[in-house]
């Protein structure tokens, strides 16, 4: 068929021109010639719809409208990075690394681009899914919008794995940002504040045609997947580039922290010559084998560190100090500032942290203060310009009573924060607890957001999270901005939350110090809310990684009659307050009390599967060998120093198969 050959030929040509222009920055034809060929292809595809191909260059113009972005769980969590701000931080990090891995350590240094994180999934060389970072555990499906970004390959080239994920940043170059703002100003509209927020907001636009109009780019830097054949982070970058991805050319292998700092110091000066926003350097252990050995903490990979450039600092006037009440009753002083531009955004407020910080800074209403963004995100006051202080200014004194309910504040010995003790009667605490209960990592109730929670509380319809399960459509349909469909969605979302797993419900209860990771440990150990509620301080302290503060908090929570009544109601409504039968069937105590170090490359199961097997059978995975280590599960390429240490401590070394035989 002549037309089919013509379509295939045009697709191949246009894809190559796209790659040359948007990835290699080396255009091979004029824009006019490209547009003519694209229109020819569009006409042919309209006339021969049976030859449709989702990876055709014509699919980049947009047209799909997405009203609700589906939330999807990441197959592998998207972690944030630990930050460092000095040579000492990096050196301390290196010392920790050398204690945990064998042999010399190489580092890959890359620029940290300030954009919106994205994870792309490819199957058989075709883009099948694009997810935002979200909360790191799950993100929004923005595939239709991502397909409009011309530096994102819809179809790969070369020798690639059959399935893998690749992660990077969606950025808006300065040139494109200025062009967009010129259009906004010409139309008499408010210009965008900064490239990063504009790029992030673009991903959630409902009309992909509008996304296609924005000159977004996608910079990739991390391949995720099993059996990729890649051994180092630097090879990661080279491979991704060969498959057609736009990979930043600025990257360097370093053999020492001094060499890393040379890279940092150079780019701290020259970053202003780059076409994109950057806010630091990312330093990674180059060997993927060593990365696997190092693993992750609850929040970040141990094998990577972000070195942040010195924050921009501005001076502005402190107009007032207000106080906010959090869901736990913690009082946070907030500086109300004369609006000032800082790092591309208008700053009006900054945290003052606690009473000690106010005392240390001796900050007073009317002072001119120095403000910077901590980690380029949260504004904070760094100091006071005493030369501009008004004579006879009044010293700031921390408040004695809650700004909301007027209860006398308390401050426990050894704690920096003041608290409002009226946890059941203070409105912000009530609202905050329910907002936490419905949050993404907890019950994640569809159709119910933070503002709606505040509205329901203020209207007197709910006072705790158990009240949610009694809400009816008739009760809420009259509320502001609540149509019939949204009322139904809210009620249905609450009912659907009864299927959420026990560990997430436990996290949602908002017990002080019981975060996501601790909730999982407690759920796994006690298996039901009933057993947990009966646990003593001594019992709780025997649980792995549960200290006295957490134990006291759990006991205090379940001594409170109001909490007991709320939990009893949740149980009555059918909320999951014990581990499911499926989870229990997969759990044993065969490895109870045993500590395992995993080292090497494995062939039967993956490293992550090994960790899950140890965890689900009552054992604990530890990162370094000590006299308390029960076994080392050794794969191929186990380091000689680990073997030597195991021998000296007489720690048994077992193979992957021997471990599996134990189960």
State the catalytic residues: 112
Helix/strand/coil for 193 = coil
68-to-71, 201, 205, 447 alpha-carbon distances in Å: 9, 15, 10, 11
Q: How many CB atoms lie within 10 A of CB 264?
A: 20
Rg of the chain on CA atoms, in Å: 28
Beta strands per DSSP E along 147-285:
163-171, 217-224, 251-254, 278-285
Give DSSP secondary structure letters for 9-53: HHHHHHHHHHIIIIISS---S-HHHHHHHHHHHHHHHHH-GGG--
Query: Tokens 């919008």 map to which residue?
Result: 145
Q: Is residue 517 classed exposed, middle or buried when 0-12, 13-18 and 19+ CB atoms within 10 A define those classes?
A: middle
Q: How many CB atoms lie within 10 A of CB 390?
A: 11
d(C-alpha 82, C-alpha 284), whole Å: 11
DSSP 629: -
CB–CB of 303/105 below 8 Å? no
- In this structure, the chain runs to a length of 663
CB–CB of 457/487 below 8 Å? no
d(C-alpha 507, C-alpha 441), whole Å: 8
Helix/strand/coil for 484 = helix
What φ, ψ does residue 300 adopt, rounded to 5°? -150, 160
Q: State the first-to-last Cα distance of the chain, in angstroms, to the nearest integer.
A: 60
- What tokens appear for 655 in the block? 């193979």
Helix/strand/coil for 640 = helix
The H or E element that residue 598 is part of is strand 595-599
Q: Is 335 left (phi over 0), alpha (psi -120 to 50) or beta?
A: beta
Give DSSP secondary structure letters for 268-286: HHHGGGSSS-EEEEEEEES
d(C-alpha 325, C-alpha 333), whole Å: 9
Q: Is residue 534 classed exposed, middle or buried when 0-12, 13-18 and 19+ CB atoms within 10 A define those classes?
A: exposed
Q: How many CB atoms lie within 10 A of CB 104?
A: 10
- What tokens appear for 35 in the block? 């547009």
Beta strands per DSSP E along 277-394:
278-285, 304-308, 313-325, 330-342, 345-351, 368-374, 378-384
d(C-alpha 442, C-alpha 218), whole Å: 31
CB–CB of 444/142 below 8 Å? no
Q: Is residue 394 classed exposed, middle or buried when 0-12, 13-18 and 19+ CB atoms within 10 A define those classes?
A: exposed
CB–CB of 453/434 below 8 Å? yes
Closest CA to 202 of 241, 176, 220: 176
d(C-alpha 67, C-alpha 204), whole Å: 10
């Amino acid at each position: 068929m002549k037309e089919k050959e013509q379509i295939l030929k045009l697709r191949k040509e246009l894809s190559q021109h796209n790659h040359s222009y948007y990835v290699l920055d080396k255009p091979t034809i004029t824009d006019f010639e490209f547009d003519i060929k694209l229109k020819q292809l569009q006409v042919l595809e309209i006339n021969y719809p049976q030859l449709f191909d989702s990876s055709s260059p014509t699919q980049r113009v947009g047209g799909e409208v997405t009203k609700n972005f589906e939330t999807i769980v990441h197959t592998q969590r998207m972690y944030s990075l630990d930050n460092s701000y000095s040579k000492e931080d990096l050196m301390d990090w290196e010392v920790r690394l050398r204690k945990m891995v064998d042999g010399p350590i190489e580092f890959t240094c890359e620029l940290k681009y300030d954009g919106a994180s994205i994870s792309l999934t490819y199957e058989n060389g075709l883009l099948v899914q694009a997810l935002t970072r979200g909360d790191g555990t799950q993100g929004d499906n923005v595939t239709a919008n991502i397909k409009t970004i011309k530096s994102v390959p819809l179809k790969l080239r070369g020798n690639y794995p059959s399935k893998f994920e690749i992660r990077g940043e969606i950025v808006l170059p300065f040139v494109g940002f200025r062009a967009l703002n010129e259009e906004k100003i010409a139309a008499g509209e408010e210009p965008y504040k900064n490239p990063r927020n504009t790029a992030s907001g673009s991903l959630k636009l409902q009309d992909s045609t509008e996304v296609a109009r924005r000159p977004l780019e996608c910079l990739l830097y991390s391949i995720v997947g099993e059996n990729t054949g890649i051994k180092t982070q630097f090879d990661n970058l080279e491979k991704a580039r060969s498959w057609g991805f736009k990979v930043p050319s600025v990257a360097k292998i370093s053999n020492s922290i001094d060499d890393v700092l040379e890279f940092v110091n150079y780019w701290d000066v020259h970053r202003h010559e780059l076409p994109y926003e950057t806010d630091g350097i990312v330093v990674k252990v180059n060997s993927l084998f060593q990365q696997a050995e190092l693993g992750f903490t609850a929040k970040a990979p141990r094998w990577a560190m972000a070195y942040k450039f010195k924050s921009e600092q501005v001076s502005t006037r402190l107009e007032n100090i207000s106080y906010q009440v959090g869901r736990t009753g913690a009082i946070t002083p907030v500086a109300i500032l004369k609006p000032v531009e800082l790092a591309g955004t208008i700053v009006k407020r900054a945290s003052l942290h606690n009473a000690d910080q106010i005392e240390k800074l001796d900050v007073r209403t009317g002072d001119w203060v120095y403000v910077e963004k901590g980690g380029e995100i949260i504004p904070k006051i760094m100091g006071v310009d005493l030369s501009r202080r008004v004579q006879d200014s009044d010293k700031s004194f921390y408040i004695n009573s809650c700004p909301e309910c007027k209860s006398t504040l308390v401050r426990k010995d050894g704690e920096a924060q003041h608290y409002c003790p009226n946890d059941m009667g203070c409105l912000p605490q009530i609202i905050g607890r329910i907002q936490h209960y419905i949050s993404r990592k907890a019950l994640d109730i569809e159709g119910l957001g933070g503002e709606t929670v505040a509205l329901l509380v203020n209207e007197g319809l709910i006072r705790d999270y158990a009240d949610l399960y009694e809400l009816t459509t008739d009760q809420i349909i009259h509320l502001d901005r609540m149509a019939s469909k949204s009322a139904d969605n809210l009620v249905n979302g609450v009912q659907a939350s009864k299927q959420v797993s026990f560990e997430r419900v436990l996290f949602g209860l908002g017990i002080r110090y019981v975060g996501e990771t601790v909730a999982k440990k407690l759920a796994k150990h006690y298996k039901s809310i009933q057993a947990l509620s009966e646990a003593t301080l001594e019992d709780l302290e025997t649980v792995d990684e549960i200290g006295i503060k957490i134990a006291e908090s759990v006991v205090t929570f379940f001594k409170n009659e109001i909490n007991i009544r709320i939990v009893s109601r949740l149980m009555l409504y059918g909320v999951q307050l014990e581990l499911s039968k499926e989870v229990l069937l997969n759990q044993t105590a065969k490895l109870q009390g045993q500590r395992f170090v995993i080292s090497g490359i494995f062939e039967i199961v993956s490293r992550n599967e090994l960790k899950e097997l140890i965890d689900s059978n009552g054992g604990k995975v530890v990162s370094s060998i000590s006299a308390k280590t029960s076994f080392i599960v050794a794969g191929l390429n186990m380091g000689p120093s680990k073997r030597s240490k195991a021998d000296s401590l007489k720690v048994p070394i077992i193979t992957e198969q021997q471990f599996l035989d134990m189960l």
